[in-house]
Structure 1
Amino acid sequence: MKTLVGYIAGLLFGLGLTISGMTDPARVLGFLDIAGAWDPTLMFVLGGAVITNFIGYRLVLRRPHPFFGECFQLPTRQDLDIRLIGGASLFGIGWGLSGYCPGPAFASIIGLSAPLFAMLVTMVMGWFMARAITPKTA
């Protein structure tokens, strides 16, 4: 049941990205073009997501445990390290250059183009490189 709910959540996320137009990299690049033909669509989509998440977390965390789990698995680290800052920087640079972030890229895979293919290949390469350089812990 947990896996099914995960698939449904992913489908809903992809549908939301498609309906909002966030699978079109031109929208993202238009948002970043503040000196040209600025497109504020991304700001409204992100604002809606932040508000929904803010309210949702407060409602869900009132429960003693998740519907399909024993306990909530929330992050506990609060420090900033070089791996977090470096990863966030690479993510932002890649998003700004391609107009895709991972969610919209996977939601757009049905209309695979050369730029999307290049972004997906480099993203997967980044995952493998990160695993290769990350020290193994016991």
Structure 2
Amino acid sequence: MKALAGYVAGLLFGLGLAISGMTDPARVIGFLDVAGDWDPTLVFVLGGAVVTTFIGYRLVWRRQTPLFESRFQLPTRRDLDTRLLGGAALFGIGWGLSGYCPGPAVASLPGLSWPLAAFVVTLIAGWWLSRRMNPGH
């Protein structure tokens, strides 16, 4: 049941990305082009995500335990270290250069193009390299 819930959530997320147009890298790059032909669409998508998360968390925290786990698993670290900041910078640079982040890239796989393939290859390479550098995570 836990795996099914994960697949349904992923499907809903992917559909939301496709319907909102966030699988189009030109739209994302247009959002980042604040000095040129700025496309504000992503602000509304992000706003919808914030509202949904705000409401969702309030509903979830009313429960004693999650539906498919014995307890909630929350992050305990609150510090900012060089690995976190470096990873965030790499993510932002990749997002700005390609117009893709992992969710929209996976949702875009049915319409595979060369830029998308290059992004997915570098995504997998980065994941592999991260696992090699941090064996236990």
State the TM-score, normalizing by the size of structure 1.
0.96
Corresponding residue number in structure 1 for 2:80: 80
Counterpart CA distance in 2 for 1:35 and 1:50 is 25
Q: Which runs of 5+ in 2 are unaligned?
A: none
After TM superposition, the structure 1 = structure 2 runs for residues 17-28 of structure 1, keeping only pairs within 5 Å, are 17-28=17-28
Shift of 1:93: 0.3
Q: Which amino acid aligns with 2:36?
A: G
Corresponding residue number in structure 1 for 2:65: 65
Q: Which runs of 5+ in 1 are unaligned?
A: none
Counterpart CA distance in 1 for 2:50 and 2:135 is 33
Counterpart CA distance in 2 for 1:70 and 1:62 is 15
Corresponding residue number in structure 2 for 1:30: 30
After TM superposition, the structure 1 = structure 2 runs for residues 1-138 of structure 1, keeping only pairs within 5 Å, are 1-134=1-134, 136=136
State the TM-score, normalizing by the size of structure 2.
0.96
RMSD: 1.1
Q: Number of residues paired by the alignment?
A: 137
Counterpart CA distance in 2 for 1:136 and 1:81 is 18
Identity of aligned residues (%): 72
Counterpart CA distance in 2 for 1:136 and 1:23 is 32
Shift of 1:135: 5.5
Classify the secondary structure of the residue corresponding to 2:96: helix
